[in-house]
Amino acid sequence: MRRRVWSGVLLAASLCACQPPPDPRVAELSARVSALEAEVRALKAAQHSGGPAGATDAGDVTARAAAQNCANALTRMLETFRQDSIDRRYPTPAQVELPGACAGQRVNWVTLEAQAYTFSLTDRAGKEQLRQRGP
pLDDT for residue 5: 46
pLDDT tier at 13, thresholds 50, 70, 90: low
Q: In this predicted structure, what is the pLDDT of residue 52?
A: 52
Q: What is the pLDDT of residues 102-126, one digit of tens each?
A: 888 888 888 888 888 898 888 777 7
**pLDDT of 53:** 46
- Residues 84 and 66: their CA atoms lie apart, in Å, by 27
pLDDT attached to residue 20 = 66
- pLDDT at position 54, please? 46
* Average pLDDT of the segment spanning 34-52: 69
**Mean pLDDT score, 94-98:** 87
Phi, psi of 129 (to 5 degrees): -95, -40
pLDDT surpassing 70 at residue 6: no
Q: What is the pLDDT of residues 26-42, one digit of tens each?
A: 666 676 667 767 777 77
CA–CA separation, 75 vs 35, rounded Å?
A: 44
Question: Can you count the helices (H) and strands (E) in the chain?
Answer: 4, 3
More confident position, 119 or 63: 119
